[in-house]
Amino acid sequence: MSKYLGLKNLAVQHAELIKQAHEKQLGLLDFLQMILRQETILKQEGGILYRIRESRLPQPYKLLSDFDFDFQPKLRKSLVMDMSTMEFMKHRESILLIGDCGVGKSHLGQALGMIACEKGYKVLYTTCAALINDLNGGVFENNLPKRIRKYVKPDLLIIDEMGHDRLELHLVKEAHLLFKVVDDRYRLNRPLIFTTNVEENAWAEYLGDPVSTRAILDRIFHHAVKIEIRGPSYRQYQSMQLQKKYDKLK
């Protein structure tokens, strides 16, 4: 019966739960509260794991606690921590992470995505190149509306790494496909996190369509918090530290 009612923990742990109730001398009401509390925790944890899995966030997962703010002293830590409260989701605002290569834009974007999953939001992660390639496939396979809905439906869409695969995107020149996703989310007031190392004045050249690019910029910047990260590359720093480690062995 517990399985039928969806009480998964009770179905597996009923003997242990009864033992705990006897040891703690719990009354019937307290026993029921203990069961429901544990079932609630189990369901919440299962929901978080499901949302993280469905988000397609790349592994290993990035956590905000792992970000080295001391390495990027010009970054406003207070602003990032404010974003981590997910108030921007409640206010239906977006986040634009822009700056130099290797400064941690993707790390922060993905870490905020993890927190959103934990807070109960449906999240979808994609790189900019993968999104445009996927929508291009929708054009050729005549199922573009279905593919667009995939990116519009989630509570939070993370579009990462605009600035990579420049040659591929330059050849495709499908800025209007990106515009369709951004515009639909804009009209529905659904937030996105966008990371890029392309400066605002270079977006048109990068995406290959000045008209669509202006429309994209207008919608992204309208309700977006801009977080600039200017500093050294953390990947380069780690590479230098690794080299020093092995130089000592010589």
Q: What is the average per-residue pLDDT within 28-35?
A: 66
| Eight-class DSSP state of 126 | E
> What local confidence, expressed as pLDDT, does residue 102 receive?
86
Beta strands in the chain (DSSP E): 94-99, 123-127, 156-162, 192-196, 224-229
Q: Are 223 and 93 within 8 A, CB to CB?
A: yes
Say how many C-beta atoms besides its own lie within 10 A of residue 175's C-beta: 23
Q: Could you give the angle at the alpha carbon of 97 between the alpha carbons of 220 and 166, nearest 5°?
A: 85
> What local confidence, expressed as pLDDT, does residue 5 receive?
40
Residue from 208, 219, 108, 99 nearest 158 by CA: 108
Q: Could you give the angle at the alpha carbon of 238 between the alpha carbons of 234 and 239, nearest 5°?
A: 115
Query: Which tokens belong to 136?
Result: 């291009």
Tens of pLDDT, residues 38-48? 766 667 788 99
Q: What CA–CA distance (Å, rounded) separates 247 from 96?
A: 39
Q: Is the pTM of this model over 0.85?
A: no
Rg (CA), the chain: 23
pLDDT at 65 over 80: yes
Tens of pLDDT, residues 137-194? 998 899 999 999 999 999 999 999 887 665 444 444 567 888 899 999 999 999 999 9
Q: What CA–CA distance (Å, rounded) separates 234 from 232?
A: 6
